[in-house]
Structure 1
Amino acid sequence: MAPKRLPIRAVLWDIDGTLMDSEPWHQRITVDLCRVYGHDLSEEDCQAMHGVAFRDIYAALHARRPFPIDLHSLTDEINAQYIARVAEVQPREGAFALVEAFAARGLAQACVSNGGRMIVDANMRAMAIPHFRFSIAREDVVNGKPHPEPYLLAASMLGLPPEACAVIEDSPTGARSAKAAGMLTIAWPQHPAVVFDALDHLVEDPASLDWDELCG
């Protein structure tokens, strides 16, 4: 018999593609700048980038054909373009209402991203939601998603065991991270064709889950 799961006491959110409908913006900016520097990205390339830290994307492309610009300079260009437009990025439909509903239940909430600190802070300012205790960016950990470290760090900062945390993610990379951390893993993809190999629930709307039972 599987051990009984602890009642959920916190919800940890991915940001890009989960709270914010920002993936198309990141992709468009990245594709345009990579083209400037000699890389025409295919649709397959773009799908493979989903949920992956940009340093890993850069390394894979650089191995294919060296960039004439270093990682930090290219990252700065991408970040600057995104931050300049972040006020135009819309929240994902229903996401902010879920944040409010979880806050009404007394659940702790935080954001755990694979993005860099500049992007995370820009998104946090744009969302302007008071219910998030903190945010974790790629620079805050040694190992980014799909490693469990980002989510384990969040649980430690909340003073909770991982088993008392639920995670909402839109990407397989993030779901692997959450599942490896021992957390209740909820996949809320924007695209039905996305395939997950590590999760507890695949949903069209996280509100459809029985939160009374999960938090009981």
Structure 2
Amino acid sequence: MVRNPIPSPIRAILWDIDGTLMDSEPWHQQITVEVCRGYGHELSDEDCRSMHGVAFREIYAALHARRPFPIDLHAWADEINAQYVANVHRVRPREGAFALVEAFAARGLAQACVSNGGRMIVDANMRAMSIPHFRFSIAREDVANGKPHPEPYLLAARMLGLAPEACAVIEDSPTGARSAKAAGMLTIAWPQHPAVVFDTVDHLVEDPASLDWDALCG
């Protein structure tokens, strides 16, 4: 008789930042479009959708192949990042996100942030959020392989001293969700737009608070 394995109780919540904790994607998109336009790239709506959750180096490589930039990746990314950091005080938290952080903290769950963004952006977002419950943050520079590779989430689990299956991930993008699933973690997709198509996830929700956390946390 084959028995289904008993799921491990969840002991930690790993959060994506942009678009999940912070409603920052419109700012990233607007700034990226403006900077690219200055170098002769007009980005379509489809271009913008395809960039969702993707690291800068992959975006730059795709656009550079289409029409070479007169500046290198680092100068291009620094220009976008500087404009975002200058406006980070205008970025609002995603509705309901900070209340969830507080609720998870009250349960005694460890929490950390795992981003595909660069350290400059991650640190700016962490300062803007000013939430004491996050143990640490992981940025793109902290790993050899960014999302959708599992490395960022596996690193977070190691830093917490937990097995991957003891971690739940909350993500708004298919790229991030692929990373979490590949890491063997409970993957919760919380998209901002209903048209976003995900691969296999454990839960696709309009609100992560609606899940049975009593059951998930054992």
- Scaled to the shorter chain, the TM-score interval is over 0.9
Contact 1:29 1:81 in 2 (8 A): yes
Q: Paired residue for 1:36?
A: 38
Contact 1:168 1:187 in 2 (8 A): yes
Q: Which residue identity does 1:117 align to in structure 2?
A: R
Aligned to 1:46, the other structure's residue is in SS state helix
Q: Paired residue for 1:67?
A: 69
Aligned to 1:157, the other structure's residue is in SS state helix
Cα drift, residue 198 of structure 1:
2.6
Contact 1:172 1:198 in 2 (8 A): no
Q: Paired residue for 1:180?
A: 182
Q: Paired residue for 2:26?
A: 24
Q: Which residue identity does 1:73 align to in structure 2?
A: A
Aligned to 1:129, the other structure's residue is in SS state coil
Q: Which moved more, 1:2-11 or 1:125-134?
A: 2-11
Of 124, 146, 154, the residue aligned with 2:148 is: 146
Aligned to 1:39, the other structure's residue is in SS state coil
Aligned to 1:17, the other structure's residue is in SS state coil
Cα drift, residue 2 of structure 1:
3.2
Query: Within 2, Cα distance between the matches of 1:17 and 1:138?
Result: 16
Query: Within 2, Cα distance between the matches of 1:115 and 1:200?
Result: 24
Q: CA RMSD in A?
A: 0.5
Aligned to 1:133, the other structure's residue is in SS state strand
Q: Paired residue for 1:203?
A: 205
Q: Paired residue for 1:127?
A: 129
Query: Within 1, Cα distance between the matches of 2:4 and 2:42?
Result: 48
Q: Which stretches of structure 1, 4 residues or more, deviate above 2 A after TM superposition?
A: none
Q: Paired residue for 1:155?
A: 157
Aligned to 1:163, the other structure's residue is in SS state helix
What stretches of structure 2 of length at least 5 have no aligned partner?
A: none
Query: Within 2, Cα distance between the matches of 1:204 and 1:2?
Result: 28
Query: Within 2, Cα distance between the matches of 1:130 and 1:199?
Result: 29
Structure 1 length as normaliser, TM-score? 0.99
Q: Which residue identity does 1:122 align to in structure 2?
A: A
Contact 1:12 1:110 in 2 (8 A): yes
Q: Paired residue for 2:94?
A: 92
- Percent identity over the alignment is 86
Query: Within 1, Cα distance between the matches of 2:60 and 2:87?
Result: 22
Query: Within 1, Cα distance between the matches of 2:5 and 2:33?
Result: 46
Q: Which moved more, 1:1-10 or 1:18-27?
A: 1-10
Cα drift, residue 3 of structure 1:
1.6
